[in-house]
Structure 1
């Protein structure tokens, strides 16, 4: 990932494990291989809240406002002038080449970083009113996600799909991923899209089988480097 990798704070794939809940279960559930973008009941980067091709057209004023709120996947954006605070989504990113960063100033120094991540698949990020700069490199375009976003929650998801919005992209419940090797599978339940340590409800790095219960009160579920997940209960 070269120069796109920076020292990340908090919820970075495969680094911090806080209050993790997992189990090496060998009974019910399914397996799959991460990677491909097959359609069906599996949640993927192409379906979700506010996503492109999501169906019905918005009324004129609302559609214009949403289009205005979207911004390019490459560039530095000043919060308040270039972009508004709010939650945004990028999807369809591959091999961790998408890098984003929330910063408290434009100094470019490491201690200015509030949160950051390298993304495969989808990422949701909430840019806060106190943020000064949002940086995006190598990402697909970002689009605004409204608080009342709706979708058809799936019962399976790609193991390297990134972030899924609970109740919109995926249904709450117990999910299982099998065949993971060398702790390369990382999952995370979060209460928001701020990407701080405080955002994490639970997380883990997994070898073998992973079982996690996603609560209806969780905001998002993040998965990276895992085999595909299937809902078992």
Structure 2
């Protein structure tokens, strides 16, 4: 199936069954050198989105204190949590065309059932590796850097529509944002409470054709955008 056909299929099928979601993301992950999707959304709850293509600019980054070594994880490889990768919040930037695939797993079996969460990333990706995770997999990603979950930044009033994930209070300020000119439901946005990427972390999401208007609240953890026109803060 061509990539255009794949996007059109997702545009017509916004809500996937658990089995469908797993098959869809496994297919995307396999193409990128990764695995599948461990989310199991219930009908009517969450909408899934295909990996999108597009450019990206790096999100604003908070600087590590002088003299303090930044903990990193390579963008390619399998990493045992606790030995090769420390639990914590990580960020990868500069990823192109959904070529970055990552996965949190409960064991190293490689089975679909072992996947706790995963994603294909264009732009910036955030992921929280938990102490209870056993394996973190990354393929085709920029280097992952540990970031302070309580860090602050200088949020901008405009956001790239294919910029990936934006941390509220660091990359994006709370407020109302508008994106225009979206076609064929290829614009996907998501508000989430954390970077675990579990289904329960999603507060709201949508696939949009035309104009999208979203209110990001101060209590949100992250805002995700893929395949959308650029976002402008209106209020």
**Structures share fold, TM-score greater than 0.5:** yes
Corresponding residue of 1:231: 233
Question: CA offset at residue 70 of structure 1?
Answer: 0.6
**Aligned equivalents of 1:119, 1:205: Cα separation in 2:** 17
Question: CA offset at residue 187 of structure 1?
Answer: 0.3
Deviation track 1:77-100 (CA, whole Å, cap 9, x = no partner) reads 000011110000000000000000
Deviation track 1:146-191 (CA, whole Å, cap 9, x = no partner) reads 1221210111100000000001101110000011011100000000
Which of 159, 162, 172 is 2:161 aligned to? 159
Compared CA separation, residues 195 and 215, structure 1 to 2 (3 A): same
Which of 121, 124, 149 is 2:123 aligned to? 121
**Aligned equivalents of 2:174, 2:99: Cα separation in 1:** 29
Corresponding residue of 1:222: 224
Compared CA separation, residues 17 and 190, structure 1 to 2 (3 A): farther
**Aligned equivalents of 2:230, 2:148: Cα separation in 1:** 28
Question: CA offset at residue 45 of structure 1?
Answer: 1.8
Structure with greater contact order relative to length (CA < 8 Å, sep ≥ 6)? 1
Question: CA offset at residue 8 of structure 1?
Answer: 1.5
Which of 179, 183, 188 is 1:186 aligned to? 188
Corresponding residue of 1:59: 66
Question: CA offset at residue 35 of structure 1?
Answer: 4.9
Corresponding residue of 1:9: 38
**Aligned equivalents of 1:81, 1:7: Cα separation in 2:** 24
Corresponding residue of 1:48: 61
Compared CA separation, residues 77 and 17, structure 1 to 2 (3 A): farther
- RMSD over aligned Cα atoms: 2.3
Deviation track 1:22-56 (CA, whole Å, cap 9, x = no partner) reads xxxxxxxxxxxx9555xxxxxx424234xxxx4xx
Question: Across the two proteins, how many residue pairs are aligned to each other?
Answer: 201
Question: CA offset at residue 11 of structure 1?
Answer: 9.0
Corresponding residue of 1:197: 199
Corresponding residue of 2:137: 135
1:19/1:201 contact within 8 Å kept: no
**Aligned equivalents of 1:5, 1:204: Cα separation in 2:** 25
Corresponding residue of 1:86: 88
Using structure 2 for the length normalisation, give the TM-score: 0.79
Corresponding residue of 2:72: 70
Instruction: Note the residue ranges of structure 1 that are not aligned, 5 or more in a row.
Output: 21-33, 38-43
Which SS does the other structure have where 1:151 is aligned?
A: coil
**Structure ranking higher in helix proportion:** 2
**Aligned equivalents of 1:187, 1:18: Cα separation in 2:** 15
2:127/2:196 contact within 8 Å kept: yes
**Aligned equivalents of 1:79, 1:187: Cα separation in 2:** 30
